[in-house]
Amino acid sequence: MHNTCTKYNYFLKLTLIVFVLALQACEKFEYSPYEIRLLDNERQLNQKNIDRIKEQNIPQDATITFALIADTQGYYEDTDAIVNHLNKRNDVQFVLHNGDITDFGLLKEFRLINEKLGRLKVPLVTVIGNHDAVSNGKQLYKEMYGAYDFSFVAGHSKFIFINTNNWEFNSIDLDWLEDQLADRENYDQVFVLSHIPPTSSAFGEANARRYRQLMNKYKVSMSIHGHNHSFETYQLEEGGTQYMNVGEAADEEYIVMRVSNTAVAFERVSTKEIYQ
Interval 16-40: pLDDT, tens: 554 444 444 444 545 455 566 777 7
The residue ranges of the chain whose pLDDT is under 70 are 1-36, 275-276
For 119, list phi and psi in degrees, rounded to 5.
-80, -10
Using CA atoms, how far residue 163 sits from 22, 30, 230, in Å, is: 39, 29, 20
Q: What is the pLDDT of residues 134-169, one digit of tens each?
A: 989 999 999 999 999 999 999 999 999 999 999 999
- Tell me the C-alpha distance between 133 and 194, whole Å: 14
Residue 18, pLDDT score = 47
DSSP per residue, 30-63: -S-TT-----GGGSSHHHHHHHHHHHT---TTSP
Q: Report domain extents, the chain.
A: 1-30, 41-270
Cα-Cα-Cα-Cα dihedral sign, residues 200, 205, 207, 212: positive
Determine phi and psi for 3, rounding to 5 degrees.
-65, -40
Three-state SS at 116? helix
pLDDT of res. 275? 66
Which is nearest to 188 in space by CA: 222, 224, 212? 222
Tell me, which fold does domain 41-270 have in CATH?
Answer: Purple Acid Phosphatase; chain A, domain 2 (3.60.21)
In order of 51, 216, 257, 260, the CA distances from 122 in angstroms are 12, 32, 15, 20
Give the per-residue pLDDT at 165: 97
